[in-house]
Structure 1
């Protein structure tokens, strides 16, 4: 079994959904033997790297909501994350571009160290959802990635260039070809698709069904 999943660091449902999928894999003793590939999917590639907009302003304008509606929706998402033991402080998140975070994830993935890749992805989610820091700030990215174990020199080389932009773009083109219009989206064995942050039990059931079909 192998799993590819399209995800964005700025997506709370990606954070929640991938956490549930990984938990389900561990529950079924499949995690260690199942390749799990993070595929880049920028929810809004037009966002700037620097902004004075608050998440509330960005969320309400982007979803056509009043401030009150946006606040209620953000609070609901935060509670959803809390049920999975995640701190999703979406209200204080900084709505900025995620391309450089994706490029660093691609760098990490190219090194072939799964544990390191998972630590870097988790560190970036922490930056965005727990720390209220800009995921587009190079100093912030470098601090988080080095703390996770990524080599500082390699980080600088990528951030000071356009390395791995093509790989990020390739993931997004692949998503378009597959008809994937939102994230998270999980593809198991290039056959079975799961869309969104489904309940944990749904992931368990889906994995069991694939196991039974694939033998």
Structure 2
């Protein structure tokens, strides 16, 4: 008799504007590399906008925006940046927060949903994070997004259609509604087999412990 293949479903809510989502992604991936059953893990990315009302403005500095948005001093904002950049560096990521473009992430989420339909969500997420945090590109710019899609092997015509139509708007909305239903307040947010939740960019060891626990329970 064939044994039913054991699968671990990991649902991840994320926003490509969030530095801790980028860090959390790589910490989770590091845990996955050390998980002996990684081939049995299935990941699904979900859209989540930290601020749906943010206005794209390449003319102002991210430091200035953060200080104003959080009602803190420029010095406090710099300290926040330094903390995030230290975490990123320890995770092996280059993160240039002060030069990143203040941008609404909605169009990026449309591209992620297109990527999901082609089993390329992880690749699109990674490319968008790099574009925003490392390369200081405007992730609300359709030309930038079309170029990313093209680089990943997605037809430029398909990418432009996704960005210029409402084809994937319902998918973005459904992800956000689902997040509301399960009580997601911030990202990154990881859910394992609809049972265990991990919030934030936790240490790789934490993700590995959860993976092992879920595997033991599921295989038993």
- Measured against the shorter chain, the TM-score band is over 0.9
Q: For the residues of structure 2 that align with 1:117 and 1:178, how far apart are their CA atoms?
A: 22
Q: For the residues of structure 1 that align with 2:216 and 2:36, how far apart are their CA atoms?
A: 15
Question: Which 4+ residue blocks in structure 1 deviate beyond 4 angstroms?
Answer: none
Partner of 1:104: 111
Structure ID, larger Rg? 2
Find the residue that maps to 1:32 and give its secondary structure: helix
The answer to whether 1:55 aligns with 2:55 is no
**Which of 11, 22, 30 is 2:29 aligned to?**
22
Report if aligned partners of 1:50, 1:136 keep a CA contact under 8 Å in 2.
no
Partner of 2:209: 205
Partner of 1:190: 194
Displacement of 1:27 in angstroms is 1.2
Report if aligned partners of 2:17, 2:105 keep a CA contact under 8 Å in 1.
yes
Moved more, 180-189 or 142-151: 142-151
Under a length normalisation based on structure 2, what TM-score does the superposition of the two structures give?
Answer: 0.92
Q: For the residues of structure 2 that align with 1:75 and 1:206, how far apart are their CA atoms?
A: 29
Report if aligned partners of 1:56, 1:91 keep a CA contact under 8 Å in 2.
yes
Q: For the residues of structure 2 that align with 1:178 and 1:189, how far apart are their CA atoms?
A: 13
Deviations 1:72-122 (A, max 9, x none): 1101101110111111111111121001111111011112x3xx3322211
Q: For the residues of structure 2 that align with 1:7 and 1:83, how far apart are their CA atoms?
A: 20
The count of corresponding residues between Structure 1 and Structure 2 is 212
Displacement of 1:198 in angstroms is 0.4
Q: For the residues of structure 2 that align with 1:64 and 1:206, how far apart are their CA atoms?
A: 36
Task: In structure 2, list runs of 5 or more residues that go unmatched.
Answer: 1-7
Task: In structure 1, list runs of 5 or more residues that go unmatched.
Answer: none
Displacement of 1:51 in angstroms is 4.5
Report if aligned partners of 2:21, 2:200 keep a CA contact under 8 Å in 1.
yes
Q: For the residues of structure 2 that align with 1:131 and 1:93, how far apart are their CA atoms?
A: 8
Deviations 1:143-194 (A, max 9, x none): 1221122111100111121221111111111111111100000000011100
